[in-house]
């Protein structure tokens, strides 16, 4: 099963890579064609091509356009948006509902969640600082005709964000992708109420929510694996043919910023947590955790990496079975530091490309939304980038430029998500070590024994 997942992930990565290269190449050729036709007085020829392939058919004056590339790209994006509300709702409900072990583990579960939050806080702070620095340096800015600066929906009184968390009508909460915080609130409440009633009384409801989540993941897998490569080609070709090279430089800046911050937190942030939080040698930690990070990177699946992570924590680090068996599965569900870092930087990148101005208040809201959204990210290909749309909706970054930049994220994010998975699984191991040390359930002799590598 694990080999099949690894092979499937590798195949998808190859297809996405080929689609990315072909999409950029086609886009550049089309961009060159546009410049040539417009520069030689043949604007009518380009207008005809644009009307046939690239025109936004919803725009005013485009009543007779076909916009084939636009239609294909929008159908793909809408298919992804279709599952946002059920995916976020079921994932978070199940994640909260699984913390019923707090009754038996009590102090251990509280420490586990505490360490999750500590690591997430520093990860988000790093992402916010880096994203803000790159944004204010102008590297995320694309000068695109027809797009002007905007302030997102949090540009008014930021207290509106808090007010909108609690919906006045549950149907309203589920009726729009822009009411994500309300959906999260309902999901958390349902999960907590399920815990309070107990597993026996909520067995049918748990089964229903789990089955809906399974259906959503199957649909998402099908859409991504079947249509994503072709859709990415179409989206990229249209983006560059319509708006030109201006979007390529910010995309490189996004990739560089995201990879740099992920590597910094992986190689410096986590070892510092181990050194300061557990008072253990961080060099030994890095040497022993390498196989887990590489396996997580290659499979891009926290679930597939769980058995190896468990073995490394118990045999390599000396974490007691009772700690590892609780922390690691829970962390696989809700501890997503890498996902949160990626989503913050991606949101700032999209805002810059779409002409939005980001204030400190909005950056804080983005970080909070990233923390919540990452905790509800299911183990499905491309889910991190898809859940990213919930953050964009939450802060109001949804104009045409934002959707174009978002399509770039879908195209170029596969290798970044592989690194994100490595960061996520290593974070679970860090928490298990810190909790075990604080409970006196860590075999330090085994931890320091290099033969366990």
Most confident of 80-94, 151-165, 208-222: 208-222
In the block, residue with structure tokens 């485009």:
62
Report which of residues 95 and 145 the model is more confident about: 95
Residue 156: what pLDDT? 42
Mean pLDDT of 396-402: 78
Q: What is the spatial distance between Cα 252 and Cα 239, in angstroms, rounded to a whole number?
A: 15
Which tens digit of pLDDT belongs to each residue from 178-195? Answer: 666 678 788 888 888 888
In this predicted model, what pLDDT tens digit does every residue of 163-182 receive, in sequence order?
A: 777 888 888 778 766 666 67
H/E run at residue 357: strand 356-357
Instruction: Quote the pLDDT of residue 148.
Output: 40
Topology of the domain comprising 84-209+245-452: 1.10.3860
pTM > 0.85: yes or no: no
- The DSSP bridge partners found for residue 356 are 150
Q: What are phi and psi of 357, to 5 degrees?
A: -100, 135
State the chain's mean pLDDT as an integer. 79
Of 246, 244, 239, 249, the C-alpha closest to 411 is: 239
The mean pLDDT value for 85-95 works out to: 78
What does DSSP say about strands 356-357 and 150-151: parallel, antiparallel, or unpaired?
parallel
Sign of CA dihedral 113, 118, 124, 127: negative
Looking at residue 275, what is its pLDDT?
Answer: 94
Residue with structure tokens 């919803």?
Answer: 58
3-state secondary structure (DSSP) of residue 292: helix
Least confident of 300-304, 390-394, 449-453: 449-453
Tokens for 205, please give them: 């409801």
User: Burial of 409 by CB count in 10 Å (0-12 exposed, 13-18 middle, 19+ buried)?
Assistant: buried
Q: At 151, which helix (H) or strand (E)?
A: strand 150-151
Half-sphere exposure of 118 toward its Cβ, with a 13 Å CA cutoff?
18
Checking if the pLDDT of 427 tops 90, the result is yes
Residue 24: the pLDDT is 77
User: Does residue 298 have a pLDDT over 70?
Assistant: no
**What are residue 319's phi and psi, to 5 degrees?**
-75, 135
Find out whether 227 and 79 touch, Cβ atoms under 8 Å: yes
Domain ranges of the chain: 84-209+245-452
Tokens coding 209:
């929510």
Question: What's the whole-number mean pLDDT along residues 295-311?
Answer: 75
**133-162 core/surface letters (b: 16 or more CB in 10 A; e: else):** ebbeeebbbbebeebeebebbbbeeeeebe
The dihedral built from the CA positions of residue 296, 300, 302 and 304, taken in this order, carries a sign that is negative
pLDDT at 144: 44
Confidence of residue 122 (pLDDT cuts 50, 70, 90): very high
pLDDT in tens, 250-291: 777 888 888 999 999 999 999 999 999 989 999 999 989 988
């Amino acid at each position: 099963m694990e080999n099949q997942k690894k092979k499937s992930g590798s195949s998808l990565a190859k297809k996405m890579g080929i689609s990315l290269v072909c999409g950029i190449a086609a886009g550049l050729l089309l961009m060159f064609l546009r410049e040539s036709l417009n520069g030689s007085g043949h604007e009518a020829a380009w207008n005809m091509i644009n009307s046939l392939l690239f025109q936004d058919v919803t725009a005013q004056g485009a009543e007779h356009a076909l916009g084939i590339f636009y239609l294909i790209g929008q159908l793909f994006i809408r298919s992804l948006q279709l599952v946002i509300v059920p995916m976020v709702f079921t994932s978070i409900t199940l994640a909260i509902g699984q913390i019923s072990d707090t009754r038996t583990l009590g102090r251990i579960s509280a420490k586990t969640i505490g360490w999750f939050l500590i690591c997430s806080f520093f990860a988000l702070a790093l992402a916010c600082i880096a994203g803000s620095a790159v944004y204010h340096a102008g590297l995320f800015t694309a000068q695109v005709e027809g797009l002007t600066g905007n302030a997102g929906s949090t540009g008014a009184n930021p207290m509106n964000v808090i007010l909108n968390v609690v919906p006045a009508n549950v149907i309203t909460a589920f009726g729009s992708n822009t009411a994500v915080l309300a959906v999260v609130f309902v999901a958390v409440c349902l999960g907590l109420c399920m815990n309070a009633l107990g597993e026996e009384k909520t067995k049918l409801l748990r089964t229903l929510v789990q089955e809906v989540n399974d259906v959503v993941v199957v649909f998402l897998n099908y859409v991504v694996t079947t249509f994503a490569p072709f859709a990415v080609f179409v989206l990229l070709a249209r983006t560059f043919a319509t708006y030109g090279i201006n979007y390529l430089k910010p995309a490189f800046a996004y990739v560089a910023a995201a990879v740099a911050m992920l590597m910094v937190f992986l190689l410096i942030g986590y070892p510092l947590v181990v050194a300061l939080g557990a008072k253990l040698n961080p060099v030994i930690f890095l040497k022993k955790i390498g196989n887990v990070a590489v396996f997580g990177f290659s499979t891009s699946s926290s679930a597939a990496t769980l058995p190896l992570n468990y073995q490394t924590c118990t045999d390599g680090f000396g974490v007691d079975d009772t700690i590892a068996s609780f922390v690691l599965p829970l962390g696989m569900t809700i501890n997503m530091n890498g996902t949160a870092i990626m989503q913050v930087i991606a949101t700032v990148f999209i805002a810059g490309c779409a002409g939005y101005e980001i204030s400190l208040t909005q950056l804080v809201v983005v970080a909070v939304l990233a923390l919540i959204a990452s905790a509800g990210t299911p183990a499905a290909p491309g889910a991190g980038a898809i859940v990213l749309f919930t953050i964009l909706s939450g802060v109001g970054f949804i104009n045409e430029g934002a959707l174009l930049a978002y399509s770039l994220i879908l195209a170029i994010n596969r290798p970044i998500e592989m690194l994100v998975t490595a960061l996520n699984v290593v974070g679970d191991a860090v928490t298990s070590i810190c909790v075990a040390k604080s409970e006196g359930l860590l075999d330090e002799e085994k931890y320091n024994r290099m033969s366990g590598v």
